[in-house]
Amino acid sequence: MDKAIPSIRQAADLLANNILSFLDYYDLTYEKSLLAAGKTRDEAARLIGWDWTHGVGIYALYRMAQRLGDRDIPEKIRDWFSRRIAVGLPEKNVNTVCPLLTMACLCEDRKDPAFLPILEEWTRWIMEEMPRTEERGIQHGHAELENRGHLWDDTLFMTVLFLAKAGVLLGREECVREAEYQFLLHVKYLTDRSTGLWYHGWTFEGRHNFAKALWGRGNCWITIFVPEFLEIADPGPAIRRMARETLRTQAAALVRLQDESGLWHTLLDDETSYLEASCSAGFCAGMLKGLEAGLLPESVRPCARRALEGVLANLTADGELKNVSYGTNIGYALEDYKNVPLRKMHYGQALALLAVLNAL
């Protein structure tokens, strides 16, 4: 940890302030990609202002407000939503669903007539119009690529958590059941049975797992997803048991692969790939929450504590998490993952914030 950060609580404050100051950052690299994909400048601007990166960021802020009883942060998030709604929401896709998880949480706390119609509209779209793969999986299409026939591990955090939350909030049990099905389908096609880790993606068109990448951040979405999903959806005993065992098997593999620094490599089983801090923060957050919920054995706790130390060692005095890889599409070769650049991103600070909050 930077010498200027004396406590985990202060680290949480620094991370939260960094996220809040970064929410309206205009990513010119992303704009270039969106324009190349055929978006207009207005369409690109809406996507740059509202995407999964923001969704992870504001969800971490909301969790901080819950954990610490902070009344100001929810109002700041509501203000951010109001600004984005005034500009106009972006196109609907897997990633742009992500901010709605926090909107649903805020509506659960206090109904908002400006938010409820949006939640209802997007929930209806997911259930009735969202592109599907074979076996009715949620196709991980995003602003740049259709990804026809693709399942990605990211989808569970980006869309399925919201679908479960919306089902509970709106009294639509069929949405919760659909979220359960999506979880099971993703387990079926993305789990590497030999390790318990997850592949980044699956294609029904080629019926393979692309480069068979055991990608760090993709795996951390699962570590975080399982305890969050069980808390939100409260599924029956069979699905709860399946989720618990999925998390335990993954965690056991992560314990074996952790670097002495407390971090993990961006390709979990490849020591020649760089150490990546955002996935490490996500693993730490998910492990600590899994331990708190009784989903993981105590033997995992030392690994989670080393991960926390590794994350804090990568935190700057102004609350930025260093060594965070940029947004990552499916790689067709393992080398693709090694070549992803390191950048300051909302989700780096957000995943670190979830980790330190669960350590308080």
Which pTM value belongs to this model?
0.96
Q: Quote the CA–CA distance of 346 and 84 in Å, as a whole number.
A: 17
Residue 317 lies in a domain: yes
Instruction: Determine the distance from the C-alpha atom of residue 67 to the mean position of all C-alpha atoms in its chain, rounded to a whole number.
Output: 19
Answer whether 208's CB lies under 8 Å from 151's CB: no
Residue 3 lies in a domain: no
Q: CA of 147: how far to CAs of 28, 93, 103, 214, in Å? A: 23, 11, 27, 19
**Which H helix or E strand runs over 153?**
none
- Per-residue pLDDT band for 130 (boundaries 50, 70, 90) equals very high
User: In the 8-state DSSP scheme, what is residue 126?
Assistant: H
pLDDT at 219: 98
Answer whether 267's CB lies under 8 Å from 213's CB: yes
Residue 4 has pLDDT above 80, yes or no: no
pLDDT at 7: 86
Which H, E and C letters describe 298-322, residue by residue?
HHHHHHHHHHHHHHHHCECCCCCEC
- Per-residue pLDDT band for 179 (boundaries 50, 70, 90) equals very high
Q: CB count, 10 Å around CB of 260?
A: 7
Q: Quote the CA–CA distance of 158 and 221 in Å, as a whole number.
A: 9
SS3 of 133, please? coil
CATH of the domain at 219: 1.50.10.10
pLDDT in tens, 52-77: 999 999 999 999 999 999 999 999 99
Q: What percent of the chain has pLDDT over 90?
A: 97
Q: Residue 298 sits in which domain range? A: 8-359
Half-sphere exposure of 192 (CA within 13 A, CB side): 21
pLDDT at 6: 57
> Number of structural domains, the chain?
1
Residue 2 lies in a domain: no
